[in-house]
Structure 1
Amino acid sequence: MTSADHPAHEAPVAIARQFLEARQAARGLAAYPGALPATLAQAYAIQDHAIAAQEKAVAGWKVGRILPPDSASWGAERLAGPILADTIVEATAGAPGLIFADGFGAAEAEFLLRIGAPPERDKMHFSLAESWALVDAVHIGIEIASSPFPGINSHGPAVTISDFGNNNGLLIGPAIADFAHADLTGQTVSLSIDGAVVGTGQAAAFPDGIVGALRFLLENLAQRAIRLPAGTWVSSGAITGVHPVRVGQHVTADFGPFGRVGCVIEAQSPAR
């Protein structure tokens, strides 16, 4: 399929529909289902069509980094994607992380922010302090990054954005007590797969830390006229990196004094 197969205004709808159909059938996509989005605006248009076309509630948002040199060429340091309510689970013993077995799958250790109060309506710009004031809890957790398209992360951030920001779930671990005074950005975090450490890092590496991720999301959604209700979860960025996983592997994220959280990777089943 090429952009010539659809009028310009229909192309985002067609791409969104094919991604949704693949996700619902839990089947892989051998190629990107249309012309690659050339701008971030085109990518978010595809994402918006997918959100509108599916019937499940959005209960969270993931924020991901756009690293140099892509950040310069695309004009953004971060990207966003929706997290559906039925993919957000408590990270109990044996909790599964579901990936599209014939697509792309990865696990990411992240700080999870819960929105306690919705942002002011029609507010377009936020300071770091204004952003942080909206948070009423911080948990440790794991984002499951997965897409039916195996090349989701190989064609630049616009392609990643276009399929739900490459998200397929969120595992919520323990809350961090007195989070407002905890050294979240300075805490070293590690992620292990089958007992072997595959990455370490600190949220201090993020521009403006985790609150910078929240500010980006607030402004991104405001520009798209999307409301962020109280109780929404924000997955603030991969601290140790994006680590590909396969079905059957065990993942553990260690946040030091803040605790540990883990999951076993399983294949996403088709929607009923």
Structure 2
Amino acid sequence: MTVSAAKPASAFDPARIARQFVDARRAARALPGFPGELPAGMAEGYRVQEAAIALWPEPVVGWKVGRIAPEMQAELQAERVMGPVFAGHVWAADPANPTPLPVIPGGFAAVEAEYIYRMGRDAPADKLEWTPEETLAYVDELLVGVEFAASPLATINVLGPRVVASDFGNNAGLILGRVVPAWRERPDEVPPCHAWVDGQLVGEGSPDSIPGGPPASLAFLMAACAARGRPLKAGQLVTTGAASGIHDIEAGQAARITFGDLEEIRCIAVPAQPAEGREE
């Protein structure tokens, strides 16, 4: 009887990649490149994300949703990408003081104007398909805010959605602004958004800038979270997409994001510092 040779182990190691990303984030240290074999698809990227969530010392309090470029959707069999928002990385906007955003030197950092849902009740764990209309029955509030998109990997967006999924969906925080009044009754009156970096207008948009609108992003997320065994819970936050675009920011630069007559959100990029208690 012929004994076939054992197949070599795959070079793709989600646990090792996750550890590299988490260590780099907590050490405020840039990565020179993707730390291992690239994920073959979105499923492999989310395997890294799940391993990294298990290593992160804070609970998940929400999720971000990003759009995948149309020309990549067929290959990746996905229209959107998701990532966790952690408890220690949610900040309330202060009209009097800009929110500091910790940028890892040599990494990636950007700000994005966002329309954000706060969930009002738990989603069923076994419902894996949602329409945009169904999702709104589970929403408590619509807020405006800013996603801080950042990673220790400078080329995260260049390498694409599989890599974005690997590193927390390229999320590093969320600034919460005001609740949008009467958003259910008058959805057409949800204010547009404008983003400035160092005084220059860099992007503008509205809920219509998100394909299908914010409810379509929420429908994707509710299905995806349930499929991952992480159904959305009351109180969790959902950022629905970069309505104004993705705007790079470096340490020392200031950003200002407005939503019509609501109070503007101001932030300033500062050099990130290693997490307390960490030995280098």
Select which of 82, 88, 91 maps to 1:89: 91
1:185 and 1:16 map into 2 onto residues whose CA distance is 42
Alignment of 1:79-118 (within 5 A): 79-92=81-94, 93-118=97-122
2:136 and 2:99 map into 1 onto residues whose CA distance is 30
2:61 maps to 59
- Structure 1: tracts of 5 or more residues without a match: 1-5
- Structure of higher CA gyration radius: 2
Give 3-state SS (helix, strand or coil) of 2:155's partner.
Answer: coil
Structure 1 residues 170 and 57: alpha-carbon distance in aligned structure 2, compared to 1, 3 A threshold? same
2:77 and 2:262 map into 1 onto residues whose CA distance is 34
Select which of 33, 45, 48 maps to 1:46: 48
Quote how far apart the aligned CAs of 1:187 are: 4.0
Residues 65 and 239, structure 2, Cα contact 8 Å, conserved in 1: yes
Quote how far apart the aligned CAs of 1:97 are: 1.9
1:9 and 1:91 map into 2 onto residues whose CA distance is 43
Give 3-state SS (helix, strand or coil) of 2:36's partner.
Answer: coil
Residues 140 and 261, structure 1, Cα contact 8 Å, conserved in 2: no
Quote how far apart the aligned CAs of 1:227 are: 2.8
Select which of 199, 203, 227 maps to 2:231: 227
CA displacement, residues 202-231 of structure 1 (integer Å, 9 cap, x when unaligned): 221322200111111111111111132211
Select which of 13, 25, 28 maps to 1:23: 25
Alignment of 1:118-157 (within 5 A): 118-157=122-161
Give 3-state SS (helix, strand or coil) of 2:14's partner.
Answer: helix
Give 3-state SS (helix, strand or coil) of 2:204's partner.
Answer: strand
Residues 103 and 147, structure 1, Cα contact 8 Å, conserved in 2: yes
2:52 and 2:189 map into 1 onto residues whose CA distance is 33
Structure 1 residues 59 and 23: alpha-carbon distance in aligned structure 2, compared to 1, 3 A threshold? same
Alignment of 1:166-181 (within 5 A): 166-181=170-185
TM-score normalised by structure 2 residue count = 0.91
2:3 maps to none
1:185 and 1:67 map into 2 onto residues whose CA distance is 28
TM-score normalised by structure 1 residue count = 0.94
Structure 1 residues 228 and 32: alpha-carbon distance in aligned structure 2, compared to 1, 3 A threshold? same
Structure 1 residues 167 and 28: alpha-carbon distance in aligned structure 2, compared to 1, 3 A threshold? same
Quote how far apart the aligned CAs of 1:73 are: 2.2
Residues 29 and 148, structure 1, Cα contact 8 Å, conserved in 2: yes
Quote how far apart the aligned CAs of 1:29 are: 0.1
Task: Work out whether 1:13 is the aligned partner of 2:9.
Answer: no
1:268 and 1:84 map into 2 onto residues whose CA distance is 17
Residues 251 and 264, structure 1, Cα contact 8 Å, conserved in 2: yes
Q: Which moved more, 1:142-151 or 1:124-133?
A: 124-133
Task: Work out whether 1:216 is the aligned partner of 2:220.
Answer: yes
2:244 maps to 240
Give 3-state SS (helix, strand or coil) of 1:154's partner.
Answer: helix
Quote how far apart the aligned CAs of 1:10 are: 7.0
- Structure 2: tracts of 5 or more residues without a match: 1-7
1:208 and 1:171 map into 2 onto residues whose CA distance is 24
Structure 1 residues 239 and 101: alpha-carbon distance in aligned structure 2, compared to 1, 3 A threshold? same
Percent of matched pairs sharing the same residue? 38
Alignment of 1:193-212 (within 5 A): 193-212=197-216
1:52 and 1:215 map into 2 onto residues whose CA distance is 25
CA RMSD after TM alignment: 1.7
Give 3-state SS (helix, strand or coil) of 1:123's partner.
Answer: coil
Quote how far apart the aligned CAs of 1:185 are: 8.1
Residues 105 and 146, structure 1, Cα contact 8 Å, conserved in 2: yes
Q: Which amino acid aligns with 1:181?
A: E
